[in-house]
Structure 1
Amino acid sequence: MSAADAKPHPSAEVFQLLVDAVTDYALYMLDPEGRIVTWNSGAARFKGYVAPEIVGEHFSRFFSPEDQASRLPARALATAAREGRFEAEGWRIRKDGSRFWAHAILDAIRSEDGTLLGFAKITRDITEKRRLEQAIYESALQLKLLVQGVRDYAIYMLDTDGRITSWNSGAQAIKGYTESEVLGQHFSLFYTPADRARDAPDIALRTALAEGKFEAEAQRVRKDGSLFWAHVLIDPIYDEAGAHVGFAKITRDVSEKKQAEEELRRTQEALLQSQKLQALGELAGGIAHDFNNLMTVMHGSADFMLKQPDMPSEKRTRYLNVMLETAERATSLTSQLLAFARRQPLEPEVIDLSVRLDALSEMLQRTLGSQYELRLDLTPALWPVEIDPTGLEAALLNAVLNARDAMPEGGRITIATHNARRTEGDGVLLSVEDTGEGIPPETLKRVFEPFFTTKPTGKGTGLGLSQIHGYAVQSGGAARIDSELGKGTRVELWIPRTFKPLQRETAPDTQISLPAALRVLLVEDSEHVRYFAHQLLDDLGCTVLEAAGGQEALELLRENPVDLVFSDIVMPGMSGLELASAVRETYANLPVLLASGYSSKQFIPRDEREFPILRKPYKLETLAASINELVHRAESDE
């Protein structure tokens, strides 16, 4: 069979079909001099020539005039022949004269004996890729120019360890360092010694990684050592693969803002002081009158009892009951004052407000009288809240009595509860609404001020609504009031919900007896309170030792065995807490009961108390119950 009659090998036909099917690459062959031998459909697509037009032509025609002038085609062939491969990117020319950016590979083809047979040429049009890269480069350049042009913000980057890798003109203006002075330095350079000592720079980086951002305002140090207030933002930076590669750091000098805030604070303090002086003047017409009335009852009753030692027991009991009720009213008035000052002794419990208010409704209705209608609109399955029930009752009673006073001819009071979602979180809304005469706008602005009242002298202290406000804030919530003349007033308390379990109701413990011959060390700096507590302990059958202070108590303990220490917290010199700690160190199993007129949380801001605290004023029953619980607990621990 002659060479002319020979047919191509089947595999060669398949390979040719494969090459012609590729349209994204120009695949063709050159002879040793660079003339085109083969041409595929990809080459025809983006170079514009069909095979009959181009086969036999020199491949240099695709090069730009400048590349041809620099003999780039010849150098490409020589490099491929010498090294086996030539690769480059550059402009190429289509048939219509337009240019495209090409990625070209030229591979030498040799026979088995090493003779150069030609070259395999692969070209890809990457114009769009280059355009995107150029756009990205230009964008990055513009961004760099933008960042460098910002002088009000220090914008720079840190590596993963916190070392500075870039620096803009704003950073130099704010911090005082040039780029050459800080590149490679750790950013803790700008922190105060105190912040570095508490590891603040590393905490900031760890927080940014853990939470996606770190933001704070704090003092920073300039190159000259001066301090300035800075608003700081740190964001972690990740590459396309998700690997952490560093941090973006933005700092702004907010010293002027801080100075303005400080001036505003001083102005507000001056205004508050002025308001306090005004409040003290208004206090004389309200609370002083109430206290005088209370003291008149107490003084008169005590005087009668002292002057008539043979007074019949029935009459004596009546006087004592009057004195007890008067003392409780004085305690309530003091509680209102403390609530406004946000120092009211709260003992929170987890409760359902709807259930608690339903139980209080009968008492409230009796307080109001028959000419007032009390309506309840209580939401079932209310979210639980953690509040002080006693303070709640006082706040509710104040709101209801204010509503009653606004309706001298009678009317309707509606107490409602419902779940409420707010920007600050989920909570429960308690409202007291009346159908009274309403409050004028100029008066409405002042209703939460202490001692402010529109009632006649002697008819109110002006503490009712301020107690409601103080109680709400102290409970983590808020209070507001809306009113319209002729249509009534609505007082609202918003209390945040809790996820703690509801408090179980327990029956009151009527047992007030203590273990026989219990030895108690009583520590109280007030002589009158010490005498009162001593009498209560005597009535409970205890043997009592007295101390007026902590040091005296420790001396008595060294010489006298006791079963329990009962001490006030607030005392001159050694406080009750310090005494309790000293007792625990020396007498590990000796129970200590503390007493205070303030909230236990004021002294021990932890979730669990180290020592139990009895709140003043206390009664015989509460004192006995607290001692019983403490003694039994100590016995079970032995």
Structure 2
Amino acid sequence: MADGAQPQTDLAEQRFGLLVNAITDYAIYMLDPAGIIASWNPGAQRFKGYEAGEVVGRHFEMFFTEEDRAAAAPARALATAAAEGRFEVEGWRMRKDGTRFWANAVLDAIRADDGALLGFAKVTRDITDRRAAGRALYQSEQRFRLLVQGVRDYAIYMLDAEGRITNWNAGAEAIKGYRAEEVVGSLFSRFYTEEDRAAGEPARALATALSEGKYETEAWRVRKDGTRFFAHVIIDPILDDEGRFAGFAKITRDITERREAQEALEQARISLFQAQKLQALGELTGGIAHDFNNLMTVIRGSAELLSTVDLPATKRQRYLDAIMETVDRASDLTGHLLAFGRRQSLNPRRIDLNLRLDALGEVLSRTLDPRIAVRLDLADGLWAIDVDDAQLETALLNAAFNARDAMPEGGVLTLATANRPGDDGIGDNVSLSISDTGSGMSPDVLARAFEPFFTTKAIGKGTGLGLSQIHGFAAQSGGRAEIDSQAGIGTTVRLILPRSTGRTSEIATSGDERQLLPAGRHILIVEDNDQVRDFAADLLEHMGFRTTRASNGEDGWEQMQSTRPDLLFSDIVMPGLGGIALARMARHHWPNLPILLATGYSAEIAGGNADGFDILAKPYSRETLSRALAGVLTP
């Protein structure tokens, strides 16, 4: 049995020798108890540079650096391995050519069955590259740490999964006032305001960062001394190399100064806007005062002459005509102002714009300078629009007259229409353009073109209200007005008006006194102004109606219940019970009672709260009152 075991042992030793000699990444060799090299594998030859014949029989200290040999490192290694069974170390070793390499060295003691020391097994590996990579990583981490610690404008720190602070940079200390030892380990919610903590904002911030990959906000935060600062905050989740959640990266910047600068800029903008409004108001009131004083001068002068001078019939009529003409001009002026302020009372109807422009083009051809050619460029299939046709005509005439004045030597005036589907994403619109080939406007003039009473025309040649009326009319009709102009080339005024919704209907045609129901009908007049009330009563009685007068809404309601009139004619703006409220009460009790309301201006009417009542604009004449009565009294 013993004879058969010997060949097997030899075979195992041969195989082991082949294995050791096949390894080239490790130096594997044997030492005797004194440290003398007894064997040498190809791996040792590869990275130490010696062949077996050059090292076998020599002490292994030959591979140590001079400083290690001077420090007795070889002897210490043998002693430790002999005493403890194993010795492992990393350090510099020497190659045959004198160069150094960083080695991981393991020395294991080899003992016989009886415990006697037979020698040592020596395994060495060249880990120079790994050490270099590790040192590079370490240096990179150190540089990054220095970078983070050197940043003082940003608080940069990390949180664990529960929101506890795990590190703290110098910027965090500078911004928030805490040293690292005061905050590491505590919850980051300590920096939030009480109201944000009560609202659960810290937890919501972490949850958002996890679910969306990032949380970013601007909000108030609290320093150590209790003062607040306005912060820009970013929280990012941190994942390790295997994609597992490891915590949060937190970056905070103090943007209080930037916010204060923005607020100061906004306040300056508001102040400038208020100053501009005051300037515009000053120009507006100056323009109103100028025009109304001129009108009042004509009215007062004519009235004084009529009352104090015995005039021939022709002159009396001339002054009477002057008063009525001036009142009409005053009415037009207030109409333009209300249009600019989007406060006029509009009576929209569904109209065919192309048909209106076709008729208007003929009128303009006859009334404008004969050197001006009027051309129409009307789109086929143009959509209908819902507008107040009288105000539309006024806007068109204002634009046309401005174009005429811009072409004193003649030119071309073009009226064009077009459908604009889905314009600006707010629905279908219709475009109406009035273009001229006149002098055009400079950028400064163009910027102020819509301002009321702003005009470049000579004194007495224009009020400066034409374009402002166009602007106000378009806006109150649900659209907008635009101007394109170049000096020396011409100007285009464009109205963008919403496509008809089909909810409006044609307005009743005008009537006259002969269309009224039989004379003698009873009309209740409710008007808080004594002079206007007396004038209305005299006018109605002269037209053949019976009247009852009330000075306010409450009095009018009592009179209505006791006299049961055939028609209620009431002012809208009155103290106490106003005309709209009175009309609603009357409609509720007497659904078939005709009602006519009158106003010079009403916020309710301008805001579209007329409730379907017929409205008569002040100042009114016998003719306009007659037509309005015909509209409500005719079956």
Give the structure-1-normalised TM-score. 0.55
The within-5 A match list for 1:260-279 is 270-279=271-280
Q: Call closer, same or farther: CA 1:294–1:442 in 2, change over 3 Å.
A: same
Amino acid at match of 1:175: A
The within-5 A match list for 1:116-127 is none
Residue by residue over 1:298-320, the C-alpha shift from the partner in whole angstroms, topping out at 9 and shown as x without a partner, is: 233333333456743x5544443
Superposed displacement of residue 498, structure 1: 1.3
Measured in 1, the distance between the counterparts of 2:333 and 2:384 equals: 28
Superposed displacement of residue 569, structure 1: 0.8
Amino acid at match of 2:525: L
Measured in 2, the distance between the counterparts of 1:386 and 1:411 equals: 32
**2:350–2:385 CA contact under 8 A, matched in 1:** yes
Q: Call closer, same or farther: CA 1:514–1:472 in 2, change over 3 Å.
A: same
SS in structure 2 of the partner of residue 338 of structure 1 = helix
Measured in 2, the distance between the counterparts of 1:614 and 1:487 equals: 43
Superposed displacement of residue 497, structure 1: 0.6
Q: Call closer, same or farther: CA 1:480–1:385 in 2, change over 3 Å.
A: same
Q: Call closer, same or farther: CA 1:530–1:258 in 2, change over 3 Å.
A: farther
* Residue 176 in structure 1 maps to residue 200 in structure 2: yes
Residue by residue over 1:518-552, the C-alpha shift from the partner in whole angstroms, topping out at 9 and shown as x without a partner, is: 11111111122212211221122111111111122
Over the matched positions of the two proteins, sequence identity in percent amounts to 49
Structure 1 alignment gaps of length 5 or more = 1-147, 151-168, 184-255, 634-638
Aligned to 1:496: 498
* Residue 592 in structure 1 maps to residue 595 in structure 2: yes
| More off after superposition, 349-358 vs 371-380 | 371-380
The within-5 A match list for 1:521-536 is 521-536=524-539
Measured in 2, the distance between the counterparts of 1:405 and 1:279 equals: 25
Superposed displacement of residue 439, structure 1: 0.8
Q: Call closer, same or farther: CA 1:488–1:585 in 2, change over 3 Å.
A: closer
SS in structure 1 of the partner of residue 428 of structure 2 = strand
Q: Call closer, same or farther: CA 1:267–1:174 in 2, change over 3 Å.
A: farther
Aligned to 1:466: 468
**2:437–2:491 CA contact under 8 A, matched in 1:** yes
Superposed displacement of residue 584, structure 1: 4.3
**1:384–1:502 CA contact under 8 A, matched in 2:** no
Q: Call closer, same or farther: CA 1:343–1:258 in 2, change over 3 Å.
A: farther
SS in structure 2 of the partner of residue 432 of structure 1 = strand
The within-5 A match list for 1:37-436 is 175-176=199-200, 270-283=271-284, 286-307=287-308, 311-312=312-313, 316-421=316-421, 422-423=423-424, 424-436=426-438
Measured in 2, the distance between the counterparts of 1:260 and 1:628 equals: 64
Q: Call closer, same or farther: CA 1:327–1:381 in 2, change over 3 Å.
A: farther
Superposed displacement of residue 599, structure 1: 6.6
Aligned to 1:617: 619
| More off after superposition, 288-297 vs 469-478 | 288-297
Q: Which of the numbers 524, 548, 554 marks the counterpart of 1:551?
A: 554
Measured in 2, the distance between the counterparts of 1:598 and 1:354 equals: 31
Q: Call closer, same or farther: CA 1:310–1:509 in 2, change over 3 Å.
A: same
**1:600–1:613 CA contact under 8 A, matched in 2:** no
| More off after superposition, 369-378 vs 169-178 | 169-178
Superposed displacement of residue 616, structure 1: 2.7
Measured in 2, the distance between the counterparts of 1:305 and 1:462 equals: 33
Q: Which of the numbers 537, 562, 567 marks the counterpart of 2:565?
A: 562
Measured in 2, the distance between the counterparts of 1:349 and 1:276 equals: 34
Measured in 2, the distance between the counterparts of 1:379 and 1:621 equals: 38
Aligned to 2:242: none
Amino acid at match of 1:574: L
**1:351–1:502 CA contact under 8 A, matched in 2:** no
SS in structure 1 of the partner of residue 448 of structure 2 = coil
| More off after superposition, 571-580 vs 504-513 | 504-513
Aligned to 1:197: none
Q: Call closer, same or farther: CA 1:367–1:264 in 2, change over 3 Å.
A: farther
**1:339–1:471 CA contact under 8 A, matched in 2:** yes
Superposed displacement of residue 503, structure 1: 5.0
Q: Call closer, same or farther: CA 1:559–1:627 in 2, change over 3 Å.
A: same
Residue by residue over 1:31-90, the C-alpha shift from the partner in whole angstroms, topping out at 9 and shown as x without a partner, is: xxxxxxxxxxxxxxxxxxxxxxxxxxxxxxxxxxxxxxxxxxxxxxxxxxxxxxxxxxxx
SS in structure 1 of the partner of residue 330 of structure 2 = helix
Measured in 2, the distance between the counterparts of 1:554 and 1:261 equals: 57
Amino acid at match of 2:489: K
Q: Call closer, same or farther: CA 1:409–1:176 in 2, change over 3 Å.
A: same
Measured in 2, the distance between the counterparts of 1:522 and 1:341 equals: 30
Aligned to 2:126: none
Measured in 1, the distance between the counterparts of 2:613 and 2:549 equals: 20
Measured in 1, the distance between the counterparts of 2:369 and 2:530 equals: 43
Q: Call closer, same or farther: CA 1:361–1:603 in 2, change over 3 Å.
A: closer
Q: Which of the numbers 468, 479, 482 marks the counterpart of 1:480?
A: 482
Q: Call closer, same or farther: CA 1:267–1:591 in 2, change over 3 Å.
A: farther
Q: What's the RMSD between the two structures over aligned residues?
A: 4.1
Structure 2 alignment gaps of length 5 or more = 1-160, 164-188, 208-255
SS in structure 1 of the partner of residue 525 of structure 2 = strand
Q: Call closer, same or farther: CA 1:502–1:592 in 2, change over 3 Å.
A: closer
